[in-house]
Chains A and B, each alone.
Chain A
Amino acid sequence: MGTVEELLKINEELRNKLEELTKKNHAARSKIDEMSSQVVDSNPYSRLMALKKMGIVKNYEQIRTYCVAVVGVGGVGSVAAEMLTRCGIGKLLLFDYDKVELANMNRLFFQPHQSGLSKVEAAAETLRNINPDVNITTFNYNITTVDNFENFQSALLTQGLSGGPVDLVLSCVDNFEARLTINTVCNESDLNWFESGVAENAISGHIQFIEPGRTACFACVPPLIVASNIDEKTLKRDGVCAASLPTTMAIVAGFLVQNALKYLLKFGDVANYLGYSALNDFFPTMSLKPNKNCDDNFCRKRQEEKLGKVEEKVRQEIEEEGPVHEDNEWGISLVDESVIDEKETTIAASGIAFAYTVPTEGQKETQGTSGTSKEVSLEELMAQMKAI
Chain B
Amino acid sequence: MVDEGTRKTLSSIPLLKTKAGPRDKELWVERLKEEYQSLIKYVQNNKEADNDWFRLESNKEGTKWFGKCWFFHDQLKYEFDVEFDIPVMYPTTAPEIALPELDGKTAKMYRGGKICLSDHFKPLWARNVPKFGIGHAMALGLGPWLAVEIPDLISKGVISYKEKTG
User: Which A residues form the contact surface with B (CB < 8 A)?
Assistant: 98, 144-147, 149, 175-177, 180-181, 184, 219, 222, 232, 237, 239-241, 295, 335-340, 355-359, 365, 368-372, 376, 378, 381-382, 384-386, 388
Contact = CB atoms under 8 A, between A and B. Distances in A.
B20 to A, nearest CB: 12
14 contacts: A145-B87, A176-B122, A181-B87, A222-B126, A241-B110, A336-B120, A369-B15, A376-B37, A378-B32, A381-B37, A382-B36, A382-B57, A385-B43, A385-B57
Given A98-B111, A358-B127, A146 B36 contact: no
B1 interface: yes
Given A144-B89, A369-B16, A337 B33 contact: no
Contacts of B108: 239-241
B92 A180 contact: yes
Contact of B37 (A239, A335, A372): A372
A378 B36 contact: yes
A378 B10 CA distance: 24
B33 A339 contact: no
Interface string B80-116: 0000011111001100100000000001111100001
Contacts of A369: 15-17, 131
A144 B127 contact: no
Given A339-B7, A339-B127, A381 B92 contact: no
Contacts of B93: 144, 176-177, 180
A239 B108 CA distance: 6
Main secondary structure on chain A at its contact with chain B? loop
A386 B56 CA distance: 8
Most B Cβ at <10 Å: residue of A98, A222, A337, A357: A337
A365 B32 CA distance: 21
Contacts, number: 130
Contacts of A376: 33, 37
Given A146-B86, A177-B96, A378 B33 contact: yes
Contacts of A237: 118-119
A145 B85 contact: yes
B89 A337 contact: no
B40 to A, nearest CB: 6
B131 A335 contact: no
A78 to B, nearest CB: 16
A29 B107 CA distance: 42
Given A337-B2, A339-B7, A385-B57, 13 more contacts: A146-B61, A146-B88, A177-B96, A180-B89, A180-B93, A184-B88, A240-B108, A241-B107, A358-B126, A368-B131, A372-B30, A381-B40, A385-B36
Nearest to B39: A385
Interface residues of B, number: 56
A146 B22 contact: yes
A174 to B, nearest CB: 9
Contacts of A295: 92
* Leading 4 A-B pairs by shortest Cβ distance: A356-B123, A381-B36, A369-B17, A241-B116
Nearest to A239: B107
Most buried by B among A146, A339, A376, A388: A146
Contacts of A184: 88-89
A371 B39 CA distance: 13
B123 A337 contact: yes
Contacts of A385: 36, 39-40, 43, 56-57
A277 B145 CA distance: 30
A149 B38 CA distance: 27
B77 interface: no
Contacts of A381: 33, 36-37, 40
Given A176-B122, A356-B123, A381-B36, A386 B57 contact: yes
Contacts of B129: 358
Interface in B1-22: 1-2, 7, 10-11, 14-17, 22
Contacts of B22: 146
A365 B130 CA distance: 11
Contacts of A337: 1-2, 120, 123-124
A386 B124 CA distance: 29
A370 B62 CA distance: 19
Contact of A388 (B34, B44, B126): B44
B75 to A, nearest CB: 24
A359 B129 CA distance: 10
Contact of B88 (A145, A340, A388): A145
A98 B109 CA distance: 14
A378 B11 CA distance: 24
B11 to A, nearest CB: 8
B57 A384 contact: no
B102 to A, nearest CB: 13
A149 B85 CA distance: 13
A356 B122 contact: yes
B55 interface: yes
